[in-house]
Amino acid sequence: MLRRTLPAAFLLVLSQPLLAAQQTLFNFVRPTSVVNVATEDASLPQYNAEQTAEGEVLRRVVFNPVQRPSLRMSPQSGLWDWSAQKTLTLRLQSGMDWALTLNVTVQSADGKTLTSRIDLPAGPAQTVVIPLQAASPLSQGMRAGPPMPWTYEGQRLIVASSSGELDLSQVSAISLSMNQPNVAQSVLIERINVQDDERPQQAAYSQLIDGYGQYSRGRWPEKVASDEQLKAAAGKEQQQLKSWLAEREKQPLDRFGGWTGGQTFDAKGFFRTVKRDGRWYLVTPEGHPFYSLGVNAVNDEPGRTYVAGRESMFSDLPKADSPLAAFYGEGNNNDGNASSKGRNFNQGRWFDFYAANLERAYGKPCPTPTADAKPCPPPVLDTARWQAHTLDRLQAWGFNTLGNWSESSLEQAERVPYTLPLAIVGDYASISTGMDWWGAMPDPFDPRFAMATERAVAIAARDHRDDPFLIGYFADNELAWAAPGDDPKSRYGLAYGTLRLTTDVPAKRAFLKQLRDKYRNQEGLSKAWGIQLTAWELMEDPGFEAPLPSAEHPQIEEDFKHFQRSFADAYFKTISDALKWHAPNHLLLGGRFAVTTPEAVAACAQYCDVLSFNFYTPKPQDGYDFARLRELDKPVLVSEFHFGSRDRGPFWPGPMEVAREEDRGPAYAAFLKAALEEPAIVGVHWFQFFDQPASGRLLDGENGHFGLVGITDVPYQGFIEQVRKANLQVGKQIVGVAHKPEAEPANK
């Protein structure tokens, strides 16, 4: 570590005002005071400050290519008192020809820290504003914040997020660091200030969303500027859909979208799975091969976003007497799940921008009122028009399946096969695995879970029992079978979480019975696990912490695996049994796995007809070890995938980001091609039909751009054309050559 005390020629001078009255803590260019600077694997070269291309004078800091190079600044004596301050500001520029990521950590004397990650773009200097109280886009009600930098009062600003907390009365240090730079990286810096002005971060989220629900400061080809533009786009799309649907009529398809003219299977009246010549197939009720090209969340509610308490974020919300005020509503998504943690503005009044945009594009104008005329009724969504248009879109674009969470009216049209979710809700016990994004794990050993499952399946099957267009049911969605991470506490989060509970939880009683049956007493368990358990009853106490698996004590991991497999068996068998009773003609499509375990996947393969995974990866094979899946010998459905970018309004690109909108189509085609090369995969479902609101969806504030269609109901034309082209290639690979009627038995 290199430590320096900078001379009187180095720091603490008032620089030009940035935004308001402020205190300059450090000025790297015109120094006058003494501070302590400590560098670790970083350096301040001993030459003069540099003048940038824009004429600004800054000083270079070099971060070396090691684990965590850093530069730390602290007062020469005492502590800083920032009790009256609101933000920390830094004048920075990337010293490279590319963007850099810089970490800023502020520490107080009591050991508390406030951290911020700064994505510093290439180009001219930026002023970075860091709130001194923890703040993030979630505190504004959304998953991701607006693009930075942006111009405020003539200056380019980056309003950063911050997490943690400080005692602002006793600040001891500020550190700048990088995480494992590949090569030496330079940052140019002028000054670091604190100020009592919160206007920059408030302005960053002010007037952010326009009257159409779009990002107000951005520009992109599909952005709508007027009602007339909306109407024109709708008319143009209708002509294209008519042409594409005419082409579809010439394709060799049965009424369910299966491919005719090639190999055939026995027609059994419902969808089923078959393995032939080493490849798995979905088979239509009429006996033709079917590759499920689906879209999730095809519904008419994508534009709802909370406005209560953050009205200043929206530039043009309808007034109470406006016809569009019919699209306000009330909700509450403060559900206590991890997906809602830290999010503000998650209940109260919402506005539906998508419904309002449909009214603008397709609504009938109200006649000019006369003295004896009745007032126009409030507008309502024309569901019949929306339904027909949406199904036209799906079929014209080469899709053949309605994925999870799609509008039920679309199912009733008998044009496109569909899937349904099983949401099992009840007062059964639950177990935290350390993730709990959508809630804790249901306890399948609890008799109340079986009752809740029976009820959920009976309700779900009631109106669909004999519908041949229903492919099957998903067993819930993205349950927390484990916690994220590769460490044992994450991998075996279900086992650890169960043992921490009290014995009134049936899963814990089941786990303890498993251990008693195997080891008989505490002496046997103590020896196997390498612990000193003086009494068996100690394991029954809440908060019991099991030891980590180790090479010296392999029985620990073996016992964890055995319990987690028993747990998963109980879960999937309960659902399978209920479905066989209430809906024997339809498939059980698996658990839509996100974070999972081998035990859960193996149990799913035993009791379900299909394994389903949500893969946010460049190709399916990056999401799971398909060699292991082949050993289970079950068909696989990719129940979610997507690719998103940041250049079409919504601020979050989703889990799978590509650089530009133009890259989404090739990424889709590459994913589909890789899926077709895997003989176990019987379909892929895109998430999702529409973009999420830029200001955050009701459920959890997600605000991603990965839709086929924007919140204005305008499709992303370039992306759609490439998706359609990729989809239309699928039949050529799946239809195969003609076979005699199948000799091998079908799974279902």
Question: pLDDT tens across 448-473, in order?
Answer: 999 999 999 999 999 999 999 999 99
**Longest Cα–Cα distance in the chain:** 93
Let me know: does 310 contact 211? Beta carbons within 8 Å: no
Tell me the pLDDT band of 14, cut-offs 50, 70 and 90: very low
pLDDT above 70 for 523: yes
Q: Report the share of the chain in percent with pLDDT over 90.
A: 81
Give dist(CA 491, CA 92) in Å, integer: 41
Tell me the pLDDT band of 741, cut-offs 50, 70 and 90: low
Question: Concatenated DSSP letters for 470-508?
Answer: EEEEEESSS--SS-SSSSHHHHTHHHHHHHTS-TTSHHH
Question: pLDDT tens across 595-609, in order?
Answer: 999 999 999 999 999
Please give the average per-residue pLDDT across 548-567, as a whole number. Answer: 96
Give dist(CA 402, CA 302) in Å, integer: 16
Window from 20-34, 130-144, 209-223, 341-355 with minimum mean pLDDT: 20-34
Tell me the pLDDT band of 364, cut-offs 50, 70 and 90: confident
Question: pLDDT tens across 51-103, in order?
Answer: 888 888 898 999 999 999 999 999 988 999 999 999 999 999 999 999 999 99
3-state secondary structure of 560: helix
Window from 258-262, 585-589, 712-716 with minimum mean pLDDT: 258-262
Closest CA to 511 of 501, 523, 521: 501
Instruction: Tell me what the pLDDT averaged over the chain comes to.
Output: 91
pLDDT above 90 for 638: yes
Question: Concatenated DSSP letters for 135-146?
Answer: B-GGGGTSSSPP
Please give the average per-residue pLDDT across 161-167, as a whole number. Answer: 94
Window from 79-88, 633-642, 703-712 with minimum mean pLDDT: 79-88
Tell me the pLDDT band of 437, cut-offs 50, 70 and 90: confident
Please give the average per-residue pLDDT across 353-368, as a whole number. Answer: 88
Tell me the pLDDT band of 46, cut-offs 50, 70 and 90: low
pLDDT of residue 234: 94
End-to-end CA distance of the chain: 67
What's phi and psi for 304, nearest 5 deg? -80, 130
pLDDT above 50 for 19: no
Amino acid at the residue 321:
D
Exposed, middle or buried, 465 (CB in 10 Å: 0-12/13-18/19+)? middle
Give dist(CA 16, CA 22) in Å, integer: 10
**118 bridge partner residues:** 102
pLDDT of residue 4: 41
Rounded alpha-carbon distances, angstroms, from residue 387 to 349, 391, 407, 468? 27, 6, 9, 20
Give dist(CA 82, CA 429) in Å, integer: 47
Pairing of strands 401-402, 292-295: parallel
pLDDT of residue 36: 84
Tell me the pLDDT band of 368, cut-offs 50, 70 and 90: low
Tell me the pLDDT band of 719, cut-offs 50, 70 and 90: very high
pLDDT of residue 28: 77
**60 bridge partner residues:** 188
pLDDT of residue 459: 95
CATH number for the domain running over 2-204: 2.60.120.430
Q: Report the share of the chain in percent with pLDDT over 70.
A: 93
Let me know: does 382 contact 362? Beta carbons within 8 Å: yes
Q: Taking the CA atoms of the chain, what radius of gyration do you get in angstroms? A: 30
What's phi and psi for 440, nearest 5 deg? -75, 165
Spatial neighbors of 174 by CB under 8 A, at least 6 apart, are 25, 72, 73, 74, 88, 104, 105, 106, 107, 192
pLDDT above 80 for 746: no
Give dist(CA 113, CA 540) in Å, integer: 38
pLDDT of residue 5: 39
Give dist(CA 420, CA 405) in Å, integer: 7
In the chain, CATH 2.60.120.430 covers 2-204
Question: pLDDT tens across 169-200, in order?
Answer: 999 999 999 999 999 999 999 888 999 988 98
pLDDT above 60 for 748: no
Please give the average per-residue pLDDT across 669-696, as a whole number. Answer: 98
pLDDT above 80 for 6: no
- Token duo for residue 702: 């997600």
3-state helix vs strand vs coil in the chain, percent to 5: 30, 25, 50
Sole residue written with tokens 């919160």: 198
pLDDT above 50 for 254: yes
pLDDT of residue 721: 98
pLDDT above 90 for 575: yes
Tell me the pLDDT band of 735, cut-offs 50, 70 and 90: confident
**209 bridge partner residues:** 215, 314
Cα angle for residues 21, 115, 1 (degrees, 5° grid): 100
Amino acid at the residue 203:
A
pLDDT of residue 747: 55
Give dist(CA 672, CA 567) in Å, integer: 34
Window from 155-159, 286-290, 336-340, 674-678 with minimum mean pLDDT: 336-340
**24 bridge partner residues:** 193
Give dist(CA 424, CA 422) in Å, integer: 6
Give dist(CA 256, CA 468) in Å, integer: 9
pLDDT of residue 435: 82
Give dist(CA 225, CA 210) in Å, integer: 10
pLDDT of residue 438: 83
Give dist(CA 168, CA 109) in Å, integer: 10
- Kindly state the helix (H) or strand (E) to which residue 518 belongs, with its residue range: helix 506-519
Query: What is the CB neighbour count within 10 angstroms for residue 111?
Result: 8
- Token duo for residue 696: 């955050």
Please give the average per-residue pLDDT across 224-237, as a whole number. Answer: 96
Tell me the pLDDT band of 652, cut-offs 50, 70 and 90: very high
Let me know: does 173 contact 73? Beta carbons within 8 Å: yes
- Token duo for residue 465: 């029992």
